[in-house]
């Protein structure tokens, strides 16, 4: 996957680049609107991660450019402004998704892959990871053609882990992905443990493999 | 009471009083003048009678004095002061009694004393006074009518710019970009008022937008470093060389960062509610929302083995979708977070009331302070803004939010 990261904050830009590059994707970065516009004029990208507040203008200009030149790049907006107007404006002029700062890299990746899959393969696609096969349209999970019945949360969690395979995902990130705003109330992460335990068992009952590795209480890794 | 009505009342009372008093004075003065006129006529006539008696040494016949009744009465009195007095007047031609004025004096004729009395009719004078009275009364009526009409129409016209300005001020919303119109008022005062209000409103609006921009920028500035921290932590935990101690510390940093970002978001939400930025409303079915939330919170409720009872009627409200969502979210969060293991939650939605009851800490919360910002319970791990946000959302829509401790249950009741 070829990726363009348009972000003026160096710390954030580098983290995103590092997180996505290790996986094998090609990442390019831009810290200004002007250089980003130059890049999208010359190269084709699968996905663009776009910060709205750039030092030389608003990221919306990139969306306008893409629309004008009929380019199909996926665009995921990241913004510090949790303002509904910006969200609606961004999605109206061609962005595929919108994420508000601060976010977890795992969340960013899961969202990006979701929009990429949607655009690249249309609506009928099957996601394969090792022997796990997920029918994204029918929300069906099977291992070696044997169906596994998962709850909605377990299904979401599995997709999330596969998107971030090989990465340590913090409990905070998992909780935020599954519960979003209600996160506010979670005093302990015990319930995440319960969910992971259930999912782990359902998967290993059929495949005989343990896909989850716990990392010193900070989070989990899907391998 | 309107200013015009106050003014009308005062001016009418004053006019009526002044007119009434002046009418009285007028009446007495005219009466007095008329009487003096009559008396001077009478004294002329009595002079003529005395002259006649002195010349002719006999009493005149009464016909000699037209219209006036002259009577002579013999008397033994040697001394009698001339006096004027009111007396009935027998009109000889119309045969009726009228009000009259008389004069009596003593005359001597051939050594005998007579009291001569002349009576004249006061009819003409009375008639004159009546005419004057009627004219005065009609003038008064006309004057009052004109005064009332003038007050009503001219004053209303004069005050129209004022009410126009007042309506604009009433409908003024600082988050609108609408500017106030300056109106063409004839009166300088209203023109100045209109200009002042318009200047003030545009200054307030621009200050407000400045503040809004400031808040947005501040949030931007805080959110970006938070995003850097979070992403660096996400990167840091990928490092396989770290040990358990480092991971324990990272976990703490995670939760502190998480708390900070929640706090910032809550504060921003409060600012938005306070500034009425989320004012778009629509018709919402509370029952549907609560059902969705029950689904959403189901696992968390089960996680604590909480028993959930609910009784929901169809209730529609007009409110902002996002804020209603936050409100019900917070009700659920509180009921779950401050609950105990194997506790219970009761939700009742009926009429225009929504009641959330939950078990928990077996002592009532302090009603006076629970809705203030950053007030937290003893064991609360939240931001301390949840209830303040709920209160502000309720205030914005004029919903009533009450807390009570009933039958060992913490109860939050919202009256829509």
Residue A181 has pLDDT above 70, yes or no: no
Interface of B with A in 168-207 (CB under 8 A): none
Look up tokens 């003014």; give the residue: B7
The verdict on A141 and A169 lying in the same domain is: yes
Each residue's pLDDT tens digit, A100-154: 888 999 999 999 988 888 887 765 678 888 889 898 888 889 988 889 999 888 8
- Is the Cβ of A16 closer than 8 Å to some Cβ of chain B? yes
3-state secondary structure of B133: helix
Confirm if A134 and A140 have CB atoms less than 8 A apart: yes
Torsion, Cα B252 B253 B257 B263, to 10 degrees, reads 40
Clarify whether residues A145 and A37 are in a common domain: no
| Sequence-distant (≥ 6) Cβ neighbours of residue B396 within 8 angstroms | B273, B276, B279, B323
pLDDT in tens, B355-379: 999 998 888 888 778 888 777 665 5
Using pLDDT thresholds of 50, 70 and 90, give the confidence band for residue B303.
Answer: confident
B262 touches A at CB < 8 Å:
yes
With an 8 Å Cβ cutoff, is A216 touching chain B?
Answer: yes
Q: Which domains does chain B have, with CATH numbers?
A: 1-144 (no CATH), 188-273 (1.10.287.130), 280-415 (3.30.565.10)
3-state SS, residue B51: helix
Given A121, A144, A176, the domain boundary residue is A121
Residue A100's domain comprises: 2-121
What pLDDT digit, counting tens, does each position of B129-172 carry?
888 888 888 988 898 888 888 877 887 788 888 888 888 888 88
Residue B281 reports pLDDT greater than 90: no
Domain boundary among A69, A88, A121: A121
Short-list B415, B404, B416, B262, CA closest to B333: B262
Residue-level pLDDT at B328: 92
Q: Can you tell me the distance from the alpha carbon of B189 to that of B201, in angstroms, rounded to the nearest whole number?
A: 18
Among residues of chain B, what percentage have pLDDT more than 90?
17
Confidence at residue B349, expressed as pLDDT on a 0 to 100 scale: 92
Inter-chain residue contact B231 with A19, CB threshold 8 Å: yes
For residue B380, the model assigns a pLDDT of: 61
Average pLDDT for B309-323: 91
What is the average per-residue pLDDT within A78-86? 73
Same-domain check for residues A117 and A131? no
- A148 forms beta bridges with A141
Which pLDDT band holds residue A185 (cuts at 50, 70, 90)? low
Q: A44 and A107: one domain?
A: yes
- Note whether B281 and B318 are within 8 A (CB): yes
Choose among A186, A195, A218: nearest Cβ to B247: A218
Q: Are strands A146-148 and B69-75 parallel, antiparallel or unpaired?
A: unpaired
A156 and chain B in contact, CB less than 8 A? no
Statement to judge: residues A212 and A167 lie in one domain: yes
pLDDT at B412: 92
Taking residue A42's Cβ as centre, other Cβ atoms within 10 Å add up to: 6
Indicate the residue of B216, B219, B254 with minimum beta-carbon distance to A170: B254
**Side-chain half-sphere of A55: how many Cα atoms within 13 Å?**
9
Interface test with A, best of B230, B234, B258, B299 (most A CBs within 10 A): B234
pLDDT digits (tens, 9 = 90+) for B59-110: 776 655 556 778 888 887 777 788 888 888 877 777 778 888 888 888 887 7
User: pLDDT at position A186, please?
Assistant: 56
- Cβ–Cβ contacts within 10 Å for residue A93, how many? 14
Q: What is the percentage of chain A residues whose pLDDT exceeds 90?
A: 34
Q: Measured between alpha carbons, how far is B74 from B113 in angstroms, rounded to an integer?
A: 6
DSSP per-residue string spanning B308-362: EEEEE---EEEE-HHHHHHHHHHHHHHHHHT--TT-EEEEEEETTEEEEEE--SS
Q: How far apart are CA B2 and CA A204, in angstroms?
A: 82
Query: What are the φ and ψ backbone dihedral angles of A26, each rounded to 5 degrees?
Result: -95, 125
| Token couple for B61 | 């016949």
The count of structural domains within chain A is 2
Position B395 scores a pLDDT of 86
Give the phi and the psi of residue A179 in degrees, each rounded to 5: -115, -10
Predicted confidence (pLDDT) at residue B14 exceeds the cutoff of 70: yes
Mean pLDDT of B383-400: 86
Which chain B residues contact residue A15 at CB under 8 A?
A: 228, 231-232, 234-235
A47 shares its domain with A93: yes
**Residues A192, A100 within the same domain:** no
In the block, tokens 């959330």 appear at B356
| Assigned token pair, B48 | 């003529």
- The DSSP annotation for B207-253 comes to HHHHHHHHHHHHHHHHHHHHHHHHHHHHHHTT-TT--HHHHHHHHHH
Q: Give the per-residue pLDDT at B3.
A: 75
Q: Is residue B333's pLDDT more than 80?
A: yes
pLDDT value, residue B164? 87
Boundary-marking domain end, from A66, A100, A121: A121
Chain A contact for B382 (CB, 8 A cutoff): yes
Q: Which pLDDT value is given to residue A124? A: 62
pLDDT digits (tens, 9 = 90+) for B185-242: 778 888 888 888 888 888 998 888 888 778 767 876 888 899 999 999 999 999 889 9
- How far A144 CA sits from the closest chain B CA (Å)? 30
Could you tell me if A205 and A158 lie in one domain?
Answer: yes
CB count within 10 Å of CB B361 equals 14
CB pair distance less than 8 Å for A102 and B235: no
Question: Within this chain, do residues A142 and A92 fall inside the same structural domain, yes or no?
Answer: no
Q: Is B55 helix (H, G, I), strand (E, B) or coil?
A: helix
Quick check: B270 contacting A, CB < 8 Å?
no
B229 touches chain A (CB under 8 A): yes
Exposure string (b/e) for B183-204, b if CB count within 10 Å is 16 or more? bebeeeebeebbeebbeebeee
Choose the closest CB to B329 out of A102, A181, A195. Answer: A181
Judge if A153 and A189 occupy the same domain: yes
A 10 A CB-CB count for A147 gives 11
| CATH code of the domain containing A158 | 1.10.10.10
Unique residue bearing structure tokens 């938070």:
B226
- A152 inside 8 A of chain B by CB: no
User: Which chain B residues are closer than 8 Å to A102 by Cβ?
Assistant: 223, 226-227, 229-231, 257, 261
pLDDT at A16: 93
Average pLDDT, chain B: 84
Over pLDDT 70: what percentage of chain A? 91
List the 308-327 stretch of B: residues with Cβ below 8 A of A.
Answer: 322, 326
Considering chain B, what percentage of its residues have pLDDT values greater than 70? 95
Task: Give B216's contacts in chain A (Cβ within 8 Å).
Answer: 81, 83
What is the reported pLDDT for A123? 59
Residues A114 and A198 in one domain: no
Most confident of A19-33, B92-106, B121-135, B315-329: B315-329
**A184 to B383: CB separation less than 8 angstroms, yes or no:** yes
pLDDT the model gives residue B77: 77
Average pLDDT, chain A: 86
**Residue pairs spanning A and B at CB distance below 8 A:** 128
Nearest chain B Cα to A190, which residue?
Answer: B303
Report the CATH number that the domain containing residue A46 is assigned in CATH. Answer: 3.40.50.2300
Q: Name the burial class of residue B25, with classes exposed (0-12), middle (13-18) and buried (19+) by CB atoms within 10 angstroms of its CB.
A: exposed
Q: Return phi, psi of residue A177, to 5°.
A: -65, -45
Q: Which of B229, B251, B382 lies nearest to residue A217, judging by beta carbons?
A: B251
> What is the model's pLDDT at position B50?
82
The rounded Cα A84 to chain-centroid distance in angstroms is 21
Q: Which pLDDT belongs to residue A183?
A: 57
Q: Look at B233 and A194 and tell me if their CB atoms are within 8 Å.
A: no
Q: Of A25 and A15, which is predicted with more confidence? A: A15
With beta carbons less than 8 A apart as the criterion, state whether B412 and B334 touch: yes
Query: Which residue on chain B is closest to A102 by alpha carbon?
Result: B227
Higher pLDDT, B256 or B108: B256
Say whether both A148 and A46 belong to one domain.
no
Which residues sit opposite B54 in a β-bridge? none
Which whole number is the average pLDDT over A21-46?
89
- Least reliable range by pLDDT among A46-55, A203-212, B165-174: B165-174
B369 at the A interface (CB within 8 A)? no
Q: Return the residue of A nearest to B330 by Cα.
A: A182
In this structure, is the dihedral angle defined by the CA atoms of residues B328, B332, B338 and B339, taken in order, positive or negative?
positive
Higher pLDDT, A190 or A119: A119
| Per-residue confidence (pLDDT) for residue B211, from 0 to 100 | 80
């Amino acid at each position: 996957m070829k990726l363009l990261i348009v972000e003026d904050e160096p710390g954030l830009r580098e983290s995103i680049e590092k997180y996505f590059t290790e996986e094998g994707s090609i990442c390019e970065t831009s810290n200004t609107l002007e250089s980003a516009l130059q890049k999208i004029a010359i190269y084709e990208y699968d996905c663009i991660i776009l910060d709205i507040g750039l030092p030389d203008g608003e990221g919306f200009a990139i969306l306008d450019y893409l629309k004008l030149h009929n380019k199909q790049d996926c665009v995921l907006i990241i913004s510090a402004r949790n303002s509904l107007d910006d969200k609606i404006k961004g999605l109206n002029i061609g962005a595929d998704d919108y994420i508000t700062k601060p976010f977890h890299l795992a969340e960013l990746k899961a969202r990006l892959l979701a929009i990429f899959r949607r655009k690249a393969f249309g609506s009928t696609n099957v996601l394969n990871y090792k022997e796990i096969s997920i029918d994204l349209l029918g929300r069906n999970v099977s291992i070696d053609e044997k169906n596994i019945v998962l709850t909605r949360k377990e299904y979401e969690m599995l997709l999330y882990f596969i998107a971030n395979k090989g990465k340590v995902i913090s409990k905070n990130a998992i909780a935020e992905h599954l519960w979003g705003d209600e996160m506010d109330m979670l005093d302990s992460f015990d319930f995440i443990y319960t969910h992971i335990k259930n999912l782990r068992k359902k998967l290993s009952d059929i495949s005989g493999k343990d896909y989850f590795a716990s990392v010193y209480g900070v989070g989990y890794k899907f391998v | 009471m309107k200013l015009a009505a106050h003014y009308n009342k005062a001016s009418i009372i004053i006019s009526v009083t002044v007119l009434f008093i002046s009418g009285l004075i007028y009446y007495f003065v005219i009466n007095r003048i008329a009487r003096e006129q009559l008396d001077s006529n009478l004294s002329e006539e009595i002079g003529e009678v005395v002259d006649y008696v002195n010349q002719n040494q006999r009493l005149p016949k009464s016909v000699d004095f037209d219209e006036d009744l002259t009577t002579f009465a013999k008397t033994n009195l040697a001394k009698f002061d001339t006096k004027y007095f009111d007396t009935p007047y027998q009109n000889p031609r119309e045969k009726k009694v009228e009000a009259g004025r008389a004069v009596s004096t003593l005359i001597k004729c051939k050594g005998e004393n007579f009291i001569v009395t002349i009576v004249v009719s006061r009819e003409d004078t009375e008639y004159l006074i009546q005419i004057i009275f009627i004219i005065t009364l009609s003038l008064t009526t006309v004057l009052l009518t004109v005064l009332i009409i003038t007050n009503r129409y001219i004053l209303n016209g004069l005050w129209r710019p004022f009410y126009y300005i007042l309506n604009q001020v009433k409908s003024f919303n600082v988050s609108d970009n609408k500017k106030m119109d300056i109106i063409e008022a004839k009166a300088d005062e209203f023109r100045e008022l209109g200009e002042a209000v318009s200047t003030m409103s545009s200054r307030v609006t621009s200050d407000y937008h400045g503040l809004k921009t400031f808040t947005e920028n501040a949030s931007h500035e805080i959110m970006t470093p938070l995003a850097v921290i979070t992403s660096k932590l996400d990167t840091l935990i990928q490092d396989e060389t770290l040990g358990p101690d480092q991971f324990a510390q990272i976990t703490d940093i995670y939760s502190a960062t998480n708390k900070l970002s929640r706090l910032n978001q809550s504060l921003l939400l409060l600012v938005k509610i306070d500034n009425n930025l989320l004012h778009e409303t629509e018709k919402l079915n509370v029952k549907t929302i609560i059902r969705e939330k029950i689904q959403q919170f189901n696992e968390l409720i089960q996680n604590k083995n909480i028993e959930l009872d609910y009784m929901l009627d169809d209730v529609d409200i007009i409110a902002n979708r996002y804020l209603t969502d936050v409100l019900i979210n917070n009700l659920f969060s509180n009921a779950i977070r401050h609950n105990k293991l194997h506790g219970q939650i009761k939700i009742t939605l009926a009429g225009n009331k929504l009641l959330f009851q939950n078990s928990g800490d077996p002592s009532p919360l302090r009603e006076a302070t629970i809705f203030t910002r950053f007030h937290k319970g003893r064991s609360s791990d939240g931001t301390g803004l949840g209830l303040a946000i709920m209160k502000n959302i309720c205030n914005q829509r004029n919903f009533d939010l009450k807390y009570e401790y009933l039958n060992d249950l913490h109860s939050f009741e919202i009256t829509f």
